[in-house]
Amino acid sequence: MLPATNPGVVGNVGNVQAAQPIITTEIIQKHLDENQQLILAILENQNLGKLNEVAAYQARLQHNLMYLAAIADAQPATASPAANAPVQAKSSRTRLSISL
């Protein structure tokens, strides 16, 4: 699946203006759904011994995974909520006292 493009959104590439792909949650979900179907097809064809079909499905799955990884890599980095949470003692007997 190729991402949809919107001719109204443009970016500069040298002196040429090019349409930028618009990534939506629907496009991502379509890839995730397709990946699920590909995995099931790979398992089924492995069990049937159809290795040529398995290789074709695996290649498509790898393509989709690389596409999704590229989308994820292009997103701005955000700190996870767990990384910002204060550390708490696991035992009630352990107490930390910090004075400022």
* pLDDT tens-digit series, residues 3-12: 343 333 334 4
Distance CA 22, CA 18 (A): 13
Per-domain residue ranges for the chain? 23-76
How many whole angstroms separate alpha carbon 18 and alpha carbon 63? 24
CATH number for the region 23-76 comes to: 1.10.287
Helices (H), 1-100: 25-48, 51-74, 81-84
Rounded to an integer, the average pLDDT of 20-32 is 90
Provide the token pair at 63: 């393509």
Q: What is each CA distance from 53 to 5, 11, 28, 32, 89, in whole angstroms?
A: 31, 39, 24, 20, 53
56-78 pLDDT, tens digit each: 999 999 999 999 999 999 988 87
